[in-house]
Amino acid sequence: MKKITPTLVVLVATFVACNSTKETKTDMQNPFFAAYETPFQVPPFDQIKEEHYLPTVEEGIKQHEQEIAAITANTEAPTFENTILPFDESGDLLRRVDAVFGNLNSANTNEQMQALAREIYPKMTAHEDNVMLNKALFERVKAVYEQREGAGFDAEQMRVVEKYYQDFVRNGANLSDEDQAKLRELNQELSKLSLQFSENLLAETNKNFQLVVDNEADLKGLPEGVISAAADEAKKSGLDGKWVFTLQKPSLIPFLQYAENRDLREKIYRGYFMRGDNNNEFDNKEIISKMVELRDEKARLLGFENHAAYVIDVNMAKTPENVYDFLYKLWKPALDVAKKERAEMQSIIKNEGNNFELASWDWWYYAEKLRKQKYDLDEEETKPYFSLDNVREGIFYVSNQLYGIQFERRTDIPVYHPEVEAWEVKEADGSHVGVLYMDFHPRDGKRVGAWNTGFRDQAYKDGQKVQYPITSIVCNFTRPSGDLPALLTFDEVTTFFHEFGHALHGLFTDGPYQRTAGRVPRDFVELPSQIMENWAAEPEVLKVYAKHYKTGEVIPEALVQKIVNSGHFNQGFATVEYLAASVLDMDWHTQEFSGDVNAFEKTSMERIGLIDEIIPRYRSTYFSHIFSGGYSAGYYVYIWAAVLDTDAFHAFKESGDLFNAELAAKFRTLLAKSGSDEGMTIYRNFRGQDPSTEPLLEKRGLK
């Protein structure tokens, strides 16, 4: 998500869907109510219909209530075996349907699915509150927690007990009845607002803006592939003979990079950065106002100074002050570099005989000129070597070299959309690891961005693994067009590597308890994904997967060197726009809010000295990571994890072997056992030392 996906909530939540369910009198035509008779027991997408979701959710809630009632009715003294373990294993059917519905509502939604979401999610929010505020259940969990020191628990059991107790407390179990009732109201309202924010953004991105070009002269500067894709988009919209550009990144970014018509660059960029801020039915400002106030009220109710303090309390950073300190240490060097980049681009404008000042909608266009000038590198020159199929094979190669795993395309596995690919992942000896779905291209029912998610997590029963993971990568990459295959920009290549890192985390996670297996702090989540990006640009790896889509020619050494040389290119801009968004996120969840969303954002950015030519990577009204994606007071985690990932990759580089077997085995252990201990402890077990910031600063050219 992304990058994260956002990812983002679904990646961290545990969606375990065992394939045996309790007998029920409900409609057995509903595929959720029977064992999946599919390869590897994947969801039978070809049988699941929209009318199946709500009855399954209702039955899942009922079954979960019965399971919890059985725990609380037990008259024996609370123990791990009669309280913690059955609670850890409960809620199977509900997770089963939630995994499918939640993922498809993000990747393949429609008006009917959205209407269902508005009915289903309030029910699930209420049920979650009923569970976490169940006094009898909490008393049993608390009893086990208070007696944990002398109970003879192993390390895994101890952590499960402590994390569940923490979950209950953080979800209001210690509040008075009156305050618990208030908490329920807050949770319901926040759930509805988050869903509404997401629906508004989807409409603003996919439905409410098109740049229609009917004069061929206005296409000047655009590569043929971009023009062809715009013609295809126009045909889909019934505008044959014209060209349509959208706010999806594969359409937007090339237009900003190459279109010579400055007025049209401004028009499409304004369409992008004004999403959710157009004072129409899809405006998100009032939603934001309500959400930040309700989040602050909830945090104070739970005993925290603000929402950021509540969120970060369980992260590696621990406090908002630590996050701000971390961001500000990077801000000045990044801003200094961005200002130098601005000056270089302003010189190009002047040398071309123009007298206007660089604006935000000019940055991509003149940055591309600067790239050619400084590095003799044209992104269009590299794209023929980055066909989607070749990049996928390159990722498979890296994964195989590191971990020995293999990938087999399966056409007998049901998929939720004809474009989705299904792959079986195997160990070197052929034994099953899991199933991987890949969904690459934009469509009207898919939200923006890229993310990894899961349809099922690994699970144990009586000490034996009974369930293998089903993970999914969802992206919005450039589509094939005409005779051209899907040719990726290098940014899209690194996004693919990134999301694959998340997928490997899900596939390798191995632990006996749902609460801890793979459940890591938010500021640890991006380590497994971001470390994979490092291999994408290594010359040794590029020569394996970067092959011309027509000739099969391996990318020339000279072009590889240009890519390597340009590694620091535009890093001031990239780091500043990201850090600006991270500070904006933190400000929303720590600072007093006057009620004016745009004024708050303006004040936030002026305080840190953001230059006019750069806007935050996400303005508030389309900042889905923090208002609908689970990264509130947590967008900083990408660069926090970047310190970890560059330090970890530095270990491979230091060893002289990109695929050092010993280090790869240790890193796989990190992935497998993540969640079994504190994040920094897990990292130190891999690295043998605390992470250093030096590799990150060097990588980005900020020192």
- List residues with catalytic annotation: 499
Helix, strand, coil percentages for the chain (3-state, nearest 5) = 60, 5, 35
Candidates 344, 383, 360, 424; CA nearest to 612 is 360
What are the Cα distances from residue 448, in Å, to 4, 118, 203, 440?
11, 20, 11, 12
Cβ-based burial of 146 (10 A; exposed 0-12, middle 13-18, buried ≥19)? exposed
Tally Cβ neighbours within 10 Å of residue 289: 17
Which residue do the tokens 């509502």 mark? 105
Query: 443: which 2 tokens?
Result: 């469509």
H/E stretch holding 409 reads strand 406-409
> What is the distance between the alpha carbons of residues 363 and 373, in angstroms, rounded to a whole number?
15
Backbone φ and ψ for 256, nearest 5 degrees, come out as -65, -30
Query: 698: which 2 tokens?
Result: 């060097």
Task: Establish how many alpha carbons lie within 13 A of residue 675's alpha carbon, considering only the half-sphere containing its beta carbon.
Answer: 27
Axis crossing angle, helix 285-301 with helix 597-608, rounded to the nearest 10: 70
| φ/ψ bin of 470: left (φ > 0), alpha (ψ from -120 to 50), beta (otherwise) | beta
> What is the distance between the alpha carbons of residues 103 and 108, in angstroms, rounded to a whole number?
8
Candidates 432, 500, 520; CA nearest to 468 is 432
DSSP state of 693: S
Widest CA span of the chain, in angstroms?
85
> What is the distance between the alpha carbons of residues 453 and 439, in angstroms, rounded to a whole number?
11
Q: Are 138 and 200 contacting, i.e. CB atoms less than 8 angstroms apart?
A: no
H/E stretch holding 464 reads strand 464-467
Backbone φ and ψ for 669, nearest 5 degrees, come out as -60, -40
Alpha helices in 352-489 (DSSP H): 363-375, 379-382, 388-403
Burial code (b: 16+ CB inside 10 Å, e: under 16) for 345-365 equals bbebbeeeeeeeebebbbbbb
One-letter amino acid of 325: D
Q: Which residues contact 12 (CB under 8 A, 6 or more apart)?
A: 519, 520, 522, 525, 630
Q: Are 534 and 646 contacting, i.e. CB atoms less than 8 angstroms apart?
A: yes
One-letter amino acid of 677: D
Cβ-based burial of 163 (10 A; exposed 0-12, middle 13-18, buried ≥19)? middle
> What is the distance between the alpha carbons of residues 542 and 211, in angstroms, rounded to a whole number?
35
Candidates 385, 378, 392; CA nearest to 553 is 385
DSSP state of 473: E
Cβ-based burial of 512 (10 A; exposed 0-12, middle 13-18, buried ≥19)? buried
Task: Establish how many alpha carbons lie within 13 A of residue 261's alpha carbon, considering only the half-sphere containing its beta carbon.
Answer: 15
H/E stretch holding 14 reads none
Which residue do the tokens 């290594």 mark? 538
Candidates 366, 427, 382; CA nearest to 402 is 427
Q: Are 232 and 250 contacting, i.e. CB atoms less than 8 angstroms apart?
A: no
